[in-house]
Copies of this chain bind each other. A is one copy, B any other.
Amino acid sequence: MSEEKLNQAAAILHELGIDAWLLLGRETEELHDPSLPLLLETNVTWPSAFILTARGERIAIVGRYDVDNVRAAGGWPQVTGYDQSLRPPLRDTLARLNPGQIAINYSTGDATADGLTHGLWLWLQDALAGTSFTKRLVTGEGIVAALRGRKTPSELGALRRAITTTEEIFRAIAGYLRAGRSGLQVRDYAHKEVRRRGLATAWDAAMCPIVTVGPESAIGHVRATDHALSRGELMHLDFGVRQDGFCSDLQRTWYLRRRGEKKAPDEVQRAFDAVLAAIRTGHESLRPGITGWQVDAAARRAITGAGYPEYQHALGHGLGRSTHDGATLLGPRWERYGRTPYGVVEAGNVFTLELGAQVAGYGFIGLEEDVLVTPAGCEYMSTPQTEIWYA
Protein backbone atom coordinates (compact mmCIF):
# COMPACT_ATOMS: atom_id res chain seq x y z
CA MET A 1 0.00 0.00 0.00
CA SER A 2 2.92 2.39 0.62
CA GLU A 3 3.77 2.44 -3.13
CA GLU A 4 0.28 3.78 -3.79
CA LYS A 5 0.68 6.49 -1.13
CA LEU A 6 4.22 7.41 -2.24
CA ASN A 7 2.95 8.04 -5.77
CA GLN A 8 -0.03 9.94 -4.43
CA ALA A 9 2.27 12.07 -2.24
CA ALA A 10 4.40 13.13 -5.23
CA ALA A 11 1.26 14.14 -7.12
CA ILE A 12 0.02 16.15 -4.12
CA LEU A 13 3.38 17.96 -3.84
CA HIS A 14 3.14 18.81 -7.51
CA GLU A 15 -0.45 20.02 -7.10
CA LEU A 16 0.40 22.17 -4.06
CA GLY A 17 3.54 23.59 -5.69
CA ILE A 18 5.80 22.30 -2.91
CA ASP A 19 9.12 20.97 -4.19
CA ALA A 20 10.06 18.68 -1.35
CA TRP A 21 8.60 17.05 1.75
CA LEU A 22 11.02 16.19 4.55
CA LEU A 23 10.09 13.72 7.29
CA LEU A 24 12.43 13.21 10.22
CA GLY A 25 12.35 10.29 12.61
CA ARG A 26 14.37 8.29 15.14
CA GLU A 27 13.44 5.46 17.45
CA THR A 28 10.21 5.30 15.48
CA GLU A 29 8.92 2.35 17.47
CA GLU A 30 8.80 4.66 20.49
CA LEU A 31 7.39 7.74 18.76
CA HIS A 32 6.84 8.35 15.08
CA ASP A 33 5.39 10.92 12.76
CA PRO A 34 1.87 9.61 11.94
CA SER A 35 2.68 10.17 8.24
CA LEU A 36 5.65 7.81 8.28
CA PRO A 37 3.69 4.50 8.23
CA LEU A 38 1.92 5.68 5.05
CA LEU A 39 5.30 5.91 3.32
CA LEU A 40 7.56 3.36 4.98
CA GLU A 41 6.64 -0.14 6.10
CA THR A 42 9.26 -0.50 8.81
CA ASN A 43 10.91 1.34 11.70
CA VAL A 44 14.22 3.16 12.03
CA THR A 45 16.39 3.59 15.10
CA TRP A 46 18.88 6.37 14.42
CA PRO A 47 17.97 9.90 13.31
CA SER A 48 16.70 9.52 9.76
CA ALA A 49 15.45 11.75 6.97
CA PHE A 50 12.98 10.83 4.26
CA ILE A 51 12.71 13.25 1.35
CA LEU A 52 10.05 13.09 -1.33
CA THR A 53 10.04 15.53 -4.21
CA ALA A 54 7.32 16.73 -6.55
CA ARG A 55 9.31 15.09 -9.34
CA GLY A 56 8.88 11.75 -7.63
CA GLU A 57 12.36 11.30 -6.13
CA ARG A 58 12.45 9.34 -2.89
CA ILE A 59 15.60 9.64 -0.83
CA ALA A 60 16.10 7.97 2.55
CA ILE A 61 19.09 8.87 4.73
CA VAL A 62 19.35 6.48 7.66
CA GLY A 63 21.86 5.07 10.11
CA ARG A 64 24.14 2.34 8.78
CA TYR A 65 22.35 -0.44 10.65
CA ASP A 66 18.96 0.61 9.33
CA VAL A 67 20.03 0.61 5.66
CA ASP A 68 19.33 -3.05 4.83
CA ASN A 69 16.04 -2.95 6.62
CA VAL A 70 14.81 0.20 4.84
CA ARG A 71 15.93 -1.26 1.50
CA ALA A 72 14.07 -4.50 2.26
CA ALA A 73 10.91 -2.59 3.17
CA GLY A 74 10.83 -1.16 -0.36
CA GLY A 75 9.46 2.05 -1.84
CA TRP A 76 12.69 4.03 -1.34
CA PRO A 77 15.09 3.41 -4.27
CA GLN A 78 17.77 5.75 -2.87
CA VAL A 79 18.90 4.74 0.61
CA THR A 80 22.03 6.40 1.99
CA GLY A 81 23.62 5.18 5.20
CA TYR A 82 25.69 7.18 7.65
CA ASP A 83 27.74 6.35 10.73
CA GLN A 84 28.21 9.41 12.88
CA SER A 85 25.92 12.22 11.81
CA LEU A 86 22.83 12.72 9.67
CA ARG A 87 23.75 16.36 9.16
CA PRO A 88 26.28 16.20 6.27
CA PRO A 89 24.29 13.82 4.01
CA LEU A 90 21.09 15.82 4.69
CA ARG A 91 22.76 19.13 3.81
CA ASP A 92 24.35 17.60 0.70
CA THR A 93 21.07 16.13 -0.48
CA LEU A 94 19.17 19.39 -0.01
CA ALA A 95 21.96 21.31 -1.77
CA ARG A 96 21.68 18.94 -4.73
CA LEU A 97 17.86 19.07 -4.89
CA ASN A 98 17.73 22.80 -4.09
CA PRO A 99 13.97 22.83 -3.35
CA GLY A 100 12.23 26.20 -3.26
CA GLN A 101 9.95 25.07 -0.43
CA ILE A 102 10.54 22.24 2.02
CA ALA A 103 7.47 21.03 3.86
CA ILE A 104 7.93 19.65 7.39
CA ASN A 105 5.23 18.11 9.55
CA TYR A 106 3.97 20.52 12.15
CA SER A 107 0.43 21.69 12.77
CA THR A 108 -1.21 23.40 15.71
CA GLY A 109 -4.64 22.02 14.82
CA ASP A 110 -4.23 18.61 13.19
CA ALA A 111 -2.54 15.98 15.37
CA THR A 112 -1.93 13.66 12.42
CA ALA A 113 0.00 16.43 10.61
CA ASP A 114 2.03 17.28 13.73
CA GLY A 115 4.56 14.48 13.65
CA LEU A 116 7.77 16.50 14.01
CA THR A 117 8.83 16.81 17.63
CA HIS A 118 10.08 20.14 18.92
CA GLY A 119 13.51 18.64 19.64
CA LEU A 120 13.87 17.43 16.05
CA TRP A 121 12.71 20.85 14.84
CA LEU A 122 15.48 22.45 16.91
CA TRP A 123 17.94 19.88 15.56
CA LEU A 124 16.89 20.71 12.00
CA GLN A 125 17.32 24.45 12.57
CA ASP A 126 20.81 23.75 13.82
CA ALA A 127 21.65 21.23 11.08
CA LEU A 128 20.67 23.73 8.37
CA ALA A 129 22.17 26.78 10.10
CA GLY A 130 24.00 29.06 7.68
CA THR A 131 21.97 27.85 4.69
CA SER A 132 18.92 29.46 3.16
CA PHE A 133 16.98 26.22 3.68
CA THR A 134 15.76 27.27 7.12
CA LYS A 135 13.79 30.05 5.40
CA ARG A 136 12.25 27.62 2.94
CA LEU A 137 10.59 25.45 5.59
CA VAL A 138 6.78 25.42 5.42
CA THR A 139 4.12 23.37 7.17
CA GLY A 140 3.22 20.07 5.51
CA GLU A 141 -0.32 20.04 6.91
CA GLY A 142 -1.87 20.47 3.46
CA ILE A 143 0.09 17.50 2.15
CA VAL A 144 -0.85 15.33 5.11
CA ALA A 145 -4.53 16.30 4.92
CA ALA A 146 -4.69 15.41 1.22
CA LEU A 147 -2.65 12.23 1.58
CA ARG A 148 -4.61 10.85 4.53
CA GLY A 149 -7.91 12.26 3.31
CA ARG A 150 -7.95 10.99 -0.27
CA LYS A 151 -8.49 7.30 0.17
CA THR A 152 -7.14 4.99 -2.52
CA PRO A 153 -9.16 1.99 -3.76
CA SER A 154 -7.22 -0.40 -1.55
CA GLU A 155 -7.72 1.86 1.48
CA LEU A 156 -11.45 1.98 0.78
CA GLY A 157 -11.48 -1.81 0.50
CA ALA A 158 -9.92 -2.15 3.94
CA LEU A 159 -12.37 0.39 5.42
CA ARG A 160 -15.34 -1.49 3.95
CA ARG A 161 -14.08 -4.74 5.45
CA ALA A 162 -13.73 -3.13 8.89
CA ILE A 163 -17.25 -1.67 8.65
CA THR A 164 -18.78 -4.98 7.52
CA THR A 165 -17.12 -6.79 10.42
CA THR A 166 -18.39 -4.20 12.89
CA GLU A 167 -21.94 -4.62 11.61
CA GLU A 168 -21.61 -8.40 11.99
CA ILE A 169 -20.52 -7.92 15.59
CA PHE A 170 -23.41 -5.52 16.26
CA ARG A 171 -25.79 -8.26 15.04
CA ALA A 172 -24.14 -10.76 17.38
CA ILE A 173 -24.45 -8.29 20.27
CA ALA A 174 -28.15 -7.79 19.43
CA GLY A 175 -28.68 -11.50 20.11
CA TYR A 176 -26.82 -11.23 23.39
CA LEU A 177 -28.64 -8.20 24.86
CA ARG A 178 -31.30 -8.72 27.49
CA ALA A 179 -32.38 -7.37 30.86
CA GLY A 180 -29.63 -7.82 33.44
CA ARG A 181 -26.69 -7.64 31.04
CA SER A 182 -24.19 -5.10 32.30
CA GLY A 183 -22.09 -2.71 30.27
CA LEU A 184 -19.01 -4.73 31.17
CA GLN A 185 -20.61 -7.96 29.99
CA VAL A 186 -21.52 -6.36 26.67
CA ARG A 187 -18.00 -4.98 26.31
CA ASP A 188 -16.43 -8.36 27.07
CA TYR A 189 -18.78 -10.06 24.61
CA ALA A 190 -17.75 -7.56 21.91
CA HIS A 191 -14.08 -8.17 22.71
CA LYS A 192 -14.59 -11.92 22.36
CA GLU A 193 -16.10 -11.39 18.92
CA VAL A 194 -13.14 -9.17 17.94
CA ARG A 195 -10.54 -11.67 19.18
CA ARG A 196 -12.33 -14.61 17.54
CA ARG A 197 -11.70 -12.86 14.21
CA GLY A 198 -8.03 -12.22 15.03
CA LEU A 199 -8.62 -8.45 15.02
CA ALA A 200 -8.16 -5.53 17.41
CA THR A 201 -10.56 -2.82 18.50
CA ALA A 202 -10.37 0.46 16.57
CA TRP A 203 -9.28 2.34 19.69
CA ASP A 204 -8.19 1.65 23.29
CA ALA A 205 -10.05 -1.57 24.16
CA ALA A 206 -10.85 -0.24 27.65
CA MET A 207 -13.22 2.23 25.93
CA CYS A 208 -14.09 0.28 22.77
CA PRO A 209 -16.95 -0.26 22.78
CA ILE A 210 -18.14 2.65 24.87
CA VAL A 211 -21.32 1.26 26.46
CA THR A 212 -23.97 3.64 27.77
CA VAL A 213 -26.66 1.91 29.83
CA GLY A 214 -29.80 3.64 31.09
CA PRO A 215 -30.36 7.21 32.24
CA GLU A 216 -27.59 7.44 34.87
CA SER A 217 -24.66 6.42 32.68
CA ALA A 218 -21.85 8.88 32.01
CA ILE A 219 -21.40 9.72 28.35
CA GLY A 220 -18.33 10.55 26.27
CA HIS A 221 -15.06 8.62 26.22
CA VAL A 222 -16.08 6.45 29.15
CA ARG A 223 -15.44 2.93 30.30
CA ALA A 224 -18.19 0.33 30.57
CA THR A 225 -19.46 -0.29 34.11
CA ASP A 226 -21.21 -3.16 35.92
CA HIS A 227 -24.51 -1.26 35.75
CA ALA A 228 -27.06 -3.65 34.20
CA LEU A 229 -29.63 -2.93 31.51
CA SER A 230 -33.21 -2.80 32.80
CA ARG A 231 -36.50 -2.89 30.95
CA GLY A 232 -37.60 0.56 29.87
CA GLU A 233 -34.00 1.69 29.27
CA LEU A 234 -31.77 2.58 26.35
CA MET A 235 -28.41 0.97 25.61
CA HIS A 236 -25.97 2.72 23.30
CA LEU A 237 -22.69 1.43 21.87
CA ASP A 238 -19.84 3.30 20.18
CA PHE A 239 -17.61 0.70 18.61
CA GLY A 240 -15.20 -0.15 15.81
CA VAL A 241 -12.55 -2.63 14.77
CA ARG A 242 -9.14 -2.31 13.14
CA GLN A 243 -8.89 -4.63 10.15
CA ASP A 244 -6.08 -4.69 7.57
CA GLY A 245 -4.78 -1.51 9.21
CA PHE A 246 -8.01 0.50 8.90
CA CYS A 247 -10.67 1.48 11.43
CA SER A 248 -14.46 1.53 11.55
CA ASP A 249 -16.42 3.72 13.96
CA LEU A 250 -20.17 3.26 14.43
CA GLN A 251 -22.80 3.96 17.08
CA ARG A 252 -25.97 1.96 17.56
CA THR A 253 -28.84 2.28 20.05
CA TRP A 254 -31.23 -0.31 21.47
CA TYR A 255 -34.31 0.06 23.63
CA LEU A 256 -35.32 -2.75 25.97
CA ARG A 257 -39.10 -2.77 26.06
CA ARG A 258 -41.08 -3.07 29.26
CA ARG A 259 -43.31 -6.14 29.51
CA GLY A 260 -46.34 -5.56 27.30
CA GLU A 261 -44.73 -2.61 25.49
CA LYS A 262 -44.93 -2.84 21.69
CA LYS A 263 -42.69 0.07 20.95
CA ALA A 264 -40.56 2.70 22.62
CA PRO A 265 -42.32 5.56 24.46
CA ASP A 266 -43.05 8.67 22.41
CA GLU A 267 -40.29 10.79 23.95
CA VAL A 268 -37.71 8.12 23.07
CA GLN A 269 -39.05 7.87 19.51
CA ARG A 270 -39.06 11.67 19.14
CA ALA A 271 -35.43 11.92 20.24
CA PHE A 272 -34.43 9.07 17.94
CA ASP A 273 -36.16 10.76 15.01
CA ALA A 274 -34.44 14.07 15.77
CA VAL A 275 -31.00 12.41 15.94
CA LEU A 276 -31.65 10.47 12.73
CA ALA A 277 -32.88 13.62 10.95
CA ALA A 278 -29.76 15.55 12.01
CA ILE A 279 -27.47 12.76 10.73
CA ARG A 280 -29.41 12.82 7.46
CA THR A 281 -29.03 16.60 7.27
CA GLY A 282 -25.27 16.14 7.62
CA HIS A 283 -25.36 13.47 4.92
CA GLU A 284 -27.30 15.77 2.57
CA SER A 285 -24.88 18.67 3.15
CA LEU A 286 -21.69 16.69 2.70
CA ARG A 287 -20.20 17.12 -0.78
CA PRO A 288 -16.90 18.15 -2.36
CA GLY A 289 -16.12 21.85 -1.97
CA ILE A 290 -18.05 22.48 1.25
CA THR A 291 -16.03 23.41 4.34
CA GLY A 292 -16.13 21.15 7.36
CA TRP A 293 -17.83 23.58 9.74
CA GLN A 294 -20.72 24.16 7.32
CA VAL A 295 -21.66 20.48 7.40
CA ASP A 296 -21.50 20.51 11.20
CA ALA A 297 -23.56 23.69 11.38
CA ALA A 298 -26.35 22.16 9.26
CA ALA A 299 -26.67 19.12 11.55
CA ARG A 300 -26.31 21.28 14.66
CA ARG A 301 -29.21 23.48 13.53
CA ALA A 302 -31.29 20.37 12.83
CA ILE A 303 -30.90 18.93 16.34
CA THR A 304 -31.30 22.23 18.19
CA GLY A 305 -34.23 23.15 15.93
CA ALA A 306 -35.92 19.94 17.09
CA GLY A 307 -35.55 21.16 20.68
CA TYR A 308 -32.50 19.15 21.80
CA PRO A 309 -29.25 20.60 23.16
CA GLU A 310 -26.16 21.08 21.01
CA TYR A 311 -23.77 18.13 20.98
CA GLN A 312 -20.44 19.13 22.54
CA HIS A 313 -18.25 17.60 19.86
CA ALA A 314 -17.82 17.56 16.09
CA LEU A 315 -20.45 16.02 13.80
CA GLY A 316 -17.77 14.00 12.10
CA HIS A 317 -14.09 13.24 11.70
CA GLY A 318 -11.96 11.63 9.06
CA LEU A 319 -11.74 7.83 9.34
CA GLY A 320 -8.85 5.73 8.09
CA ARG A 321 -5.71 4.25 9.60
CA SER A 322 -6.78 5.98 12.80
CA THR A 323 -10.27 6.38 14.16
CA HIS A 324 -9.61 10.11 14.36
CA ASP A 325 -7.78 10.33 11.07
CA GLY A 326 -7.08 14.08 11.06
CA ALA A 327 -7.38 16.48 8.08
CA THR A 328 -10.74 18.25 7.62
CA LEU A 329 -13.08 18.07 10.60
CA LEU A 330 -16.86 18.33 10.27
CA GLY A 331 -16.85 20.37 13.45
CA PRO A 332 -17.67 23.75 14.95
CA ARG A 333 -15.15 26.59 14.81
CA TRP A 334 -14.07 26.09 18.42
CA GLU A 335 -10.56 26.94 19.48
CA ARG A 336 -9.76 23.37 20.49
CA TYR A 337 -10.24 22.24 16.90
CA GLY A 338 -7.73 24.74 15.47
CA ARG A 339 -8.06 25.24 11.71
CA THR A 340 -9.40 21.74 11.01
CA PRO A 341 -13.10 22.81 10.65
CA TYR A 342 -11.99 25.21 7.89
CA GLY A 343 -10.78 22.34 5.68
CA VAL A 344 -12.50 21.77 2.36
CA VAL A 345 -14.20 18.42 1.75
CA GLU A 346 -12.87 16.38 -1.20
CA ALA A 347 -14.14 13.37 -3.13
CA GLY A 348 -12.54 10.24 -1.69
CA ASN A 349 -12.69 11.48 1.89
CA VAL A 350 -14.26 9.17 4.47
CA PHE A 351 -16.03 10.73 7.45
CA THR A 352 -18.12 9.70 10.40
CA LEU A 353 -21.48 11.42 10.98
CA GLU A 354 -22.36 11.18 14.65
CA LEU A 355 -24.42 12.82 17.33
CA GLY A 356 -26.82 11.95 20.09
CA ALA A 357 -29.43 13.12 22.55
CA GLN A 358 -30.13 12.25 26.15
CA VAL A 359 -33.71 11.20 27.01
CA ALA A 360 -34.48 11.86 30.68
CA GLY A 361 -35.42 8.66 32.48
CA TYR A 362 -34.39 6.40 29.59
CA GLY A 363 -30.79 6.98 28.58
CA PHE A 364 -28.72 8.10 25.62
CA ILE A 365 -29.54 7.79 21.95
CA GLY A 366 -26.51 8.02 19.70
CA LEU A 367 -26.10 7.22 16.03
CA GLU A 368 -22.93 7.22 13.95
CA GLU A 369 -22.49 6.28 10.30
CA ASP A 370 -19.41 6.07 8.08
CA VAL A 371 -19.69 7.83 4.72
CA LEU A 372 -17.61 8.26 1.56
CA VAL A 373 -17.59 11.59 -0.26
CA THR A 374 -18.31 11.08 -3.97
CA PRO A 375 -17.97 13.59 -6.83
CA ALA A 376 -21.69 14.36 -6.51
CA GLY A 377 -22.27 14.18 -2.73
CA CYS A 378 -21.71 11.28 -0.38
CA GLU A 379 -22.75 7.69 0.15
CA TYR A 380 -23.12 5.53 3.23
CA MET A 381 -20.40 2.92 3.70
CA SER A 382 -22.32 1.52 6.67
CA THR A 383 -25.94 0.38 6.58
CA PRO A 384 -27.54 3.21 8.55
CA GLN A 385 -29.62 2.54 11.62
CA THR A 386 -32.99 4.12 10.71
CA GLU A 387 -35.20 2.65 13.45
CA ILE A 388 -34.84 2.03 17.15
CA TRP A 389 -33.51 -1.49 17.66
CA TYR A 390 -35.32 -3.51 20.31
CA ALA A 391 -33.32 -5.74 22.59
A334's contact among B85, B123, B336, by CB below 8 Å, is which?
A: B85
- A290 to B10 Cα, complex, angstroms: 49
Q: Which of A47, A85, A338 has the most CB of B within 10 A?
A: A47
Q: Tell me if A46 is interfacial: C-beta within 8 Å of chain B.
A: yes
A55-91 CB contact bits vs B (8 Å, 1 = yes)?
Answer: 0000000011111110010000000001111110000
- A31 to B35 Cα, complex, angstroms: 11
Identity of the chain B residue whose Cβ is nearest the Cβ of A207 in the assembled complex: B69
21 pairs, A vs B, C-beta closer than 8 Å:
A26-B111, A27-B111, A27-B322, A27-B324, A29-B322, A30-B34, A30-B322, A63-B336, A68-B218, A69-B207, A69-B223, A72-B222, A82-B336, A83-B312, A83-B334, A106-B117, A106-B118, A106-B119, A110-B119, A114-B118, A118-B121
Query: In the bound complex, do residue B117 and residue A84 qualify as a contact, i.e. CB atoms below 8 Å apart?
Result: no
Identity of the chain B residue whose Cβ is nearest the Cβ of A86 in the assembled complex: B336
| Oligomer copy total | 2
CB distance from A89 to the nearest CB of B (A): 11
A106's contact among B112, B122, B221, B223, by CB below 8 Å, is which?
A: B122
Report chain B residues within 8 Å CB of A334: 83-85
Q: Tell me if A304 is interfacial: C-beta within 8 Å of chain B.
A: no
Identity of the chain B residue whose Cβ is nearest the Cβ of A121 in the assembled complex: B118
Report chain B residues within 8 Å CB of A114: 31, 117-120
- A interface: dominant SS: loop
Which 3 pairs of residues, A with B, have the shortest CB-CB distance?
A65-B220, A114-B119, A85-B335
Query: In the bound complex, do residue B118 and residue A84 qualify as a contact, i.e. CB atoms below 8 Å apart?
Result: no
Interface residues in A108-134 by Cβ distance below 8 A to B read 108-123, 126
Given contacts A30-B326, A31-B115, 8 further A-B contacts (CB under 8 A): A26-B111, A43-B203, A43-B204, A66-B220, A82-B336, A84-B336, A85-B335, A114-B120
Q: Tell me if A206 is interfacial: C-beta within 8 Å of chain B.
A: yes
A65's contact among B66, B87, B312, by CB below 8 Å, is which?
A: B312
Q: Which of A67, A218, A335 has the most CB of B within 10 A?
A: A335
CB distance from A224 to the nearest CB of B (A): 11
Q: Tell me if A136 is interfacial: C-beta within 8 Å of chain B.
A: no
A293-335 CB contact bits vs B (8 Å, 1 = yes)?
Answer: 0000000000000000000110000000011101000000011
Query: In the bound complex, do residue B108 and residue A67 qualify as a contact, i.e. CB atoms below 8 Å apart?
Result: no
- A244 to B236 Cα, complex, angstroms: 33
CB distance from A364 to the nearest CB of B (A): 12
Interface residues in A132-187 by Cβ distance below 8 A to B read none
Q: Tell me if A107 is interfacial: C-beta within 8 Å of chain B.
A: yes
Q: Which of A69, A121, A221, A324 has the most CB of B within 10 A?
A: A221
Identity of the chain B residue whose Cβ is nearest the Cβ of A333 in the assembled complex: B84
Query: In the bound complex, do residue B46 and residue A336 qualify as a contact, i.e. CB atoms below 8 Å apart?
Result: yes
Report chain B residues within 8 Å CB of A109: 119
Q: Tell me if A98 is interfacial: C-beta within 8 Å of chain B.
A: no
